[in-house]
Amino acid sequence: MWCDESCSSGNPTRRVAMKHAVKSVMTATAVAGLCDGSVAKAQFGSQRPAALRSSFRTSPTPRVVELCSPIRQRLGQHENLSFGNLLHWLRIFGRSPRRAAPLAPAARAVISDLTDAERLQRRFAAPSSLVASPDGLRYLVVGPNKQAHQAGRGTHAYQTLAVLGEIGMGCDTRVAAANRVGTIGDLLRDCTQNFQLREVRGVEPEWAITAIALYMHAATSWSNRWGEKLNFDDLAHYLADRPLIQSACLGTHALYCQAVLLRLHRDHGLLSKSTAARLTGICSALGRRIVASQASDGSWAGDWSGEPPPGSEVWYPIHVTGHLMECQGVLPLDLQIPAENQARAIRFLSDAVLNASEKAISDAYCPYSHAGRVILDLADQGEQLYGNY
C-alpha cells in the first residue's frame, strides 16, 4: 500500500529523496487539478457504507443498562485527545441510536475537525495529516521510525476512513485538504488505488480492507493504480495468509477484519462459497482458542492467540478483552463464543472502566474506549438506549 514515512529503503539518503519526491508529486498533482474529485464523484457518488451494528449472544443485564450514563461520562471528554484516541472517541459517540436521530453537537464538531485540514491544524497545533494525493485525499500516519506518537497523526493507515464508514458517513461527505476540497469518495479512491497484495513496512492492511468492505460492499471487483484487478476473495485470502502476530493490537485487528468480511458477506454476498468457508473455519478455530484462554476473571491476556506478546503492560487485559469482545459483536451469532463466556468478559470490562482512575483512562484511553464501546453496544442491543452525547 501507499505510504509516506512508512516507505522502506535500505539507503537513508534514498529514503529521504523518495519522501521529498512523493510530496512534490502530490503537491504538483493537486495544484494541476489532476485529482479534482470528479473521478471519485463519478465512481462513488453519494454511496453510503454498509450498516455494521453489533449483536451479541449474551443479553444486557439491568446493570449493563445502568452503566451507560457513567461510562459515557468517563469516556466523553475529547478536547485533549490525540488523533488516534479521537478516532476511538468517535467510534463510541459518532453514531446515532438505531431509531433515526441526528448526531449530537460534540460528535458533529469532531467530525468537522477530522474532515477539514485547517480545523485539524488548529486542534492539534501541528501540520494537518489530511493532504491531497495523486489519487484523491489521504491521512498521513506516524511512520515506523517514529519513537513518539505525533498528536496530529494516527498510527494505522486508513483507519480514519474505516471509522467514518463504521459511523455511517456517506461518500459525498465534504473533506477539505489545504489545497483542494473533496469528499470521502476521494479518501476511498486513494485507498482502493493504492491497496496491493503485498507487505509494506509499517502499514498493516486491516483498516484498509475494513474500509473497502464497508464502502464497496456492492462491488464485484476493482483495479488499483498498477492495473491489478482485485476482489473480496483476494483480500480475504491475503488477510488469512498473514501470521496473526503481524496484526496490530496483539493480533485482534486481523480477527476484527475477518469478522467484518464474514458479517458483510452474510448481508451482501461479498465472498465466494469456498472463501467464506475458509474464513468461517479460521474464526471458529480462534473462537475455541478464545474460550480456552479466558482467565477466571473473564479477561484475556496478550498471549490469547497462542503467540507471546511483545512485552507486557498493565492495561493489556483490558485492551485485549475489549478488542476481542468487539470482534464477537461483529461476528455472525453462530460463530461467536458462548453467551456465558461473553457475560464474564462484560463483567470484567464493566468493573475495569468503573474502577479506573481518571489518570488511568487518560493514559490508556484506547483500551478503555474499546471496553466502553462494547458495554454501550450491548445495552443498545437490548434497549436501544445508546444515547447522544
**Which helix or strand (DSSP H or E) is residue 265 part of?**
helix 252-268
Report in angstroms the alpha-carbon separations of 140 from 6, 132, 143. Answer: 10, 10, 9
**What does the pLDDT read at residue 77?**
87
Note the pLDDT tens digit of each residue in 108-161: 999 999 999 999 999 999 999 999 999 999 999 987 555 455 778 998 999 999
Note the pLDDT tens digit of each residue in 59-76: 999 999 999 999 999 999
C-alpha cell at 114: 477530522
> CB within 8 A of 225, min separation 6: which ones?
135, 193, 194
| C-alpha–C-alpha distance, residues 264 and 330, integer Å | 9
Note the pLDDT tens digit of each residue in 307-355: 777 667 778 899 999 999 999 999 999 999 999 999 999 999 999 999 9
Note the pLDDT tens digit of each residue in 7-57: 433 444 434 443 443 444 344 444 444 456 677 877 887 889 999 989 999
Residue with cell 463483567: 347
Residue with cell 457475560: 343
| Percentage, residues of the chain above pLDDT 70 | 84
**What does the pLDDT read at residue 8?**
36
The predicted model gives 239-248 an average pLDDT of 86
- Residue 58 predicted with pLDDT over 90: yes
**What does the pLDDT read at residue 312?**
72
> CB within 8 A of 198, min separation 6: which ones?
none
**Which helix or strand (DSSP H or E) is residue 113 part of?**
helix 105-114
Ranges of beta strands (E only) in 171-246 are: 174-176, 181-183, 222-223, 229-230
Instruction: Count CB atoms within 10 A of the CB of residue 139.
Output: 27
